[in-house]
Amino acid sequence: MIYYKTAEEIELIRASSQLVGKTLGLVASMLKPGITGLEIDKAAEAFIRSHKGAIPGFKGYGDFPATLCVSLNACVVHGIPNKKEFVDGDVVSVDCGVLMNGYYGDCAYTFPVGDVPEKVMKLLRVTNESLYRGIDNAIVGKRLGDISYAIQDYAEKKHKYGIVRKLVGHGIGKNLHEEPEVPNYGKRGRGIKLKEGLVIAIEPMVNMGTKDVEQSKDGWTILTKDRKPSAHYEHTITVKKGKADILSTHKYVEEAIKNNINIKEVSLKNRIFADQI
């Protein structure tokens, strides 16, 4: 059953999602070769808990052991932070959730550490742009399949990357995962009609090679089957008339990247040129 949110509930989700964005900004300021997933996870947890009433949204969820999902290179999502040091050329997806005042926020960003090959940077830029293509279709009167199609059309049909099928975006609110599921592939005009008050997390997971994935023995980590790199970006949004309202933010990430010489910029400064990627 889909639960549509009131204006007051949307503002509570926005507050949680903005804290997630600030946490990812902290991560962006720390990332460099030599740092570990455990170190950024510890800092993220302390930062979230320093805000009154806020706790990590992922830690303990389904027995997940950490605050952040830290997914390295061929890891698509759900990577468990560990003591392995990041090295020059890594790409690191960091997914974060916050529970505050009874409502969840959820957001993710993939960071290129040091000197990352251009072909991998292109994967990151295309995946990031596909997120916004999906968001552009999250408006009243369209259908869920319009979001899915926009992502797939750009990342898979145009750029020939693999769109993960086994993992999808989701509704969000009092629960981290609610109805409806939001696939990153599909057909225009299919699925539920989008109405005001629908809050969803849109999160394209795009592989350089095959769309196929497999789960590691830890029961969490999802890896590309061919072990080629993967990228993952996510925003929590609410459907509106004319234009979706993005409740989460990458603003703090982008500000931190400008001051961190170890992280390359991914986001497109002017989306009008996105078709040239």
Task: Read off the pLDDT of each residue in 9-30 and give the average, rounded to a whole number.
Answer: 98
Reduced 3-state DSSP string for the chain = CCCCCCHHHHHHHHHHHHHHHHHHHHHHHHCCCCCEHHHHHHHHHHHHHCCCCEEECCCCHHHCCCCEEEEECCEEECCCCCCCECCCCCEEEEEEEEEECCEEEEEEEEEEECCCCHHHHHHHHHHHHHHHHHHHCCECCCEHHHHHHHHHHHHHHHCCCEECCCCCEEECCCCCCEEEEECCCCCCCCCCECCCCCEEEECCEEECCCCCEEECCCCCCEEECCCCCEEECEEEEECECCCCEECCCCHHHHHHHHCCCCECCCCCCCHHHHHHC
pLDDT band for position 213 (cuts 50, 70, 90): very high
Cα first-last separation, the chain: 39
Residue 229 reports pLDDT greater than 90: yes
What confidence score (pLDDT) does residue 274 get?
Answer: 83
Q: What is the pTM (predicted TM-score) of this model?
A: 0.97
Sign of the C-alpha dihedral computed for residues 27, 30, 31 and 34 taken in this order: negative
Residue 277 reports pLDDT greater than 90: no
Domain boundaries, the chain: 7-265
Measured distance CA(105)–CA(21) in Å, rounded:
9
What confidence score (pLDDT) does residue 44 get?
Answer: 99
Residue 269 reports pLDDT greater than 80: no
pLDDT band for position 271 (cuts 50, 70, 90): confident
What confidence score (pLDDT) does residue 267 get?
Answer: 83
pLDDT band for position 158 (cuts 50, 70, 90): very high
Residue 143 reports pLDDT greater than 80: yes
CATH 2.30.42.10 fits 7-265, yes or no: no
Model confidence over 41-71: pLDDT tens digits?
999 999 999 999 999 999 999 999 999 999 9
